[in-house]
Amino acid sequence: MRYLKFWIKIAFLFLSRSVRSTVVLSLMVIIAVSVLIFLSALAIGVNDAMIRNSIGLYSGHISVDFLPHSLNPENLKINGVAGVLKRNPIPGILSNEDHVATITMIAVNPVAESKHTAIWKKAIKGRYIQNGENSIFLSSMLAKQLGVQTGGMLQFHPAISEKSVTLTVSGIYKTEIDYLDRGIAFCPFEILPVKTTTWRAAIFLKNGIDPGQIIRRYRQLLPKSLGFKSWKETMPDLLQLINLNYVSMSIVMVLVFGVVSVGIACAFVIFIFKNFREYGIMKAMGVTPREIACLIVIEVIMMNLFASIVGILGGFLAVLIASRTGIDLTYFTSHNRYFVVSGIIYPRLTFYSLYLPPILAFFFSMVSATWPAGLVARKKAADILRSI
């Protein structure tokens, strides 16, 4: 322990008093750590944006069908839940004179829907439906099929009722998402001529809440027969894309540090050769090869610690600045279904984005220090002293 303290002191003095070489050597690690923290935070931000866009447009974090009317949205509002939207899907036929389309009419509470979803923002003509009016909000594809414009009239014939209802087209939307653009339309609850036996819920969670955790709570509190599904089950394509993003980002980090570590190794060899004479003197004074290797390893650890702290701060600051305003990538995402609501990315720091880069930097620096450390430790003192 006493000797370790001594070598730590020597390593510290060596690094702190060889400021120029220490800074130059650290600079590579600092830049690599900062850039990768920012890039990985950006990757997390992209994932967040895709999730936010996908669930925020319509479906919610958790969905459940066939809920009995004995349950109401309040029963599903447990800790961690931001909102529960009640929806009544009613199959039927929508007609405009000779034009007919088979659809599922979703009866909703327009106020609550506007609060938690963004589908109303996708209106390309007119506006979203409002409570108390006989209106319908339908996709542009459906409007075209039925030959109707905003303000036009449509007849809805529910499959389970003789009664039909006349609706005015309040707005036409376009999401570019198949299941929302084909065979679906929205109207307020109160204008529906039929009562359904079950309802559907879209559950929206507070930030950072894991859907799996909420589903487990529901399974404890509610009948087990209810089929709660998280977005991960209903949108496996999105989950796959997010995992792919993580994998590719991790590969990028490993590759970047692989390249950086070669640079670090070369710089370190120069750094150590610059001080080769001093390692030779130490050996002549009776310092063992193991102690020399230990000294070099301590120097690498200290240098990395310093570089990682500065790198983390740099990356953290960059993320902080970028996350305030967000990075608008709408131009590149406007035709992408995963960015249907907004193309603004908010970089976010997580354990993955904040700690993986410095951990990798440390690992690769240790690997890259092995070569010069071994070189010095193996070399005989007499050979070093003769070569200088």
Residues at the interface with another protein (CB under 8 A): 2, 6, 10, 13-14, 17-18, 277-278, 281, 283-290, 380-382, 385-386
Round to whole Å and give the CA distance between 359 and 356. 5
Contact 193/163 with Cβ under 8 angstroms?
Answer: yes
Round to whole Å and give the CA distance between 255 and 249. 10
User: Looking at beta carbons only, is 17 or 335 nearer to another protein?
Assistant: 17
User: Looking at beta carbons only, is 2 or 324 nearer to another protein?
Assistant: 2
Q: How far is the CB of 27 from another protein (least distance, A)?
A: 20
Q: How far is the CB of 295 from another protein (least distance, A)?
A: 12
CA 102 to chain centre: 37
> Three-state SS for 334?
coil
User: Looking at beta carbons only, is 8 or 313 nearer to another protein?
Assistant: 8
Q: How far is the CB of 310 from another protein (least distance, A)?
A: 21
User: Looking at beta carbons only, is 130 or 288 nearer to another protein?
Assistant: 288
CA 239 to chain centre: 10
User: Looking at beta carbons only, is 266 or 388 nearer to another protein?
Assistant: 388
Round to whole Å and give the CA distance between 353 and 245. 13
Q: How far is the CB of 285 from another protein (least distance, A)?
A: 6
Round to whole Å and give the CA distance between 225 and 234. 18
Q: How far is the CB of 269 from another protein (least distance, A)?
A: 19
CA 46 to chain centre: 5
User: Looking at beta carbons only, is 208 or 286 nearer to another protein?
Assistant: 286
The overall longest dimension of the chain from CA atoms, in Å, is: 105
Q: How far is the CB of 17 from another protein (least distance, A)?
A: 4
151-180 burial: b if 16+ Cβ within 10 Å, else e: eeebebebeeeeeebebbbbbbbbbebeeb
